[in-house]
Structure 1
Amino acid sequence: MKIYNVSDQEFGTYGRVIKGLDVAELLEALKETPKPDDVIYVASDEKLEACACAEKIAYSLYGGMPIQIGYCNGSNVLLNAVEYHRDSEVNVALTDLILILGREQDIEEDGTYETSKMEAFLVPAGTVVEVYATTLHYAPCNVNGNKFCTAVVLPKGTNTEAPERQNNTEEDKLLFARNKWLIAHKDAKIEGAFEGLKGENLSVE
Structure 2
Amino acid sequence: MKIYEITDPEFAAYGRILGGVDLTGMVEALKKTPCPEDGTIYVPGDPELEKLPEAAEIQSKLYGELPVQIGYCNGHNHKLNALEYHRSSELNLGADEFYLILGKQTDITPDGTFDTSTCKVFRAPAGVPVEVYATTLHYAPCNKKKEGFRVLVVLPKGTNTELSGTHSGGEDGHLTAVNKWLLGHPEGGLPEGSPMGLVGENLTVE
Give the TM-score, by structure 1 length: 0.97
Partner of 1:108: 109
Percent identity over the alignment is 52
Instruction: Read off the aligned partner of 1:78 and give its amino acid letter.
Output: K
Q: Is the 8 A contact 2:167 2:175 kept in 1?
A: no
1:97 aligns with 2:98: yes
Partner of 2:120: 119
CA shift for structure 1 position 146:
3.1
Matches of 2:14 and 2:172, distance apart in 1: 23
Matches of 1:154 and 1:144, distance apart in 2: 26
CA shift for structure 1 position 31:
1.3
CA shift for structure 1 position 145:
3.3
Determine helix, strand or coil for the equivalent of 1:126: coil
Instruction: Read off the aligned partner of 1:127 and give its amino acid letter.
Output: V
Partner of 1:24: 24
CA shift for structure 1 position 60:
1.4
CA shift for structure 1 position 118:
0.2
Report the number of matched residues. Answer: 204
CA shift for structure 1 position 143:
2.5
Matches of 1:144 and 1:54, distance apart in 2: 28
Partner of 2:200: 199
Long gaps (5+) in structure 1:
none
Structure 1 stretches of at least 4 aligned residues deviating more than 6 Å after TM superposition: none
Partner of 1:182: 182
Determine helix, strand or coil for the equivalent of 1:101: strand
Structure 1, residues 67-107: CA drift from partner, whole Å, max 9, x if none?
Answer: 00000000000000000000000001110000000000000
Q: Is the 8 A contact 1:90 1:131 kept in 2?
A: yes
Matches of 1:67 and 1:10, distance apart in 2: 28
Q: Is the 8 A contact 1:163 1:177 kept in 2?
A: no
* Higher mean C-alpha displacement, 66-75 vs 189-198: 189-198
Partner of 1:55: 56
1:15 aligns with 2:15: yes
Long gaps (5+) in structure 2:
none
Determine helix, strand or coil for the equivalent of 1:150: strand
Taking only aligned residues, the RMSD between alpha carbons, in angstroms, comes to 1.0
Instruction: Read off the aligned partner of 2:126 and give its amino acid letter.
Output: A
Give the TM-score, by structure 2 length: 0.96
* Higher mean C-alpha displacement, 10-19 vs 187-196: 187-196
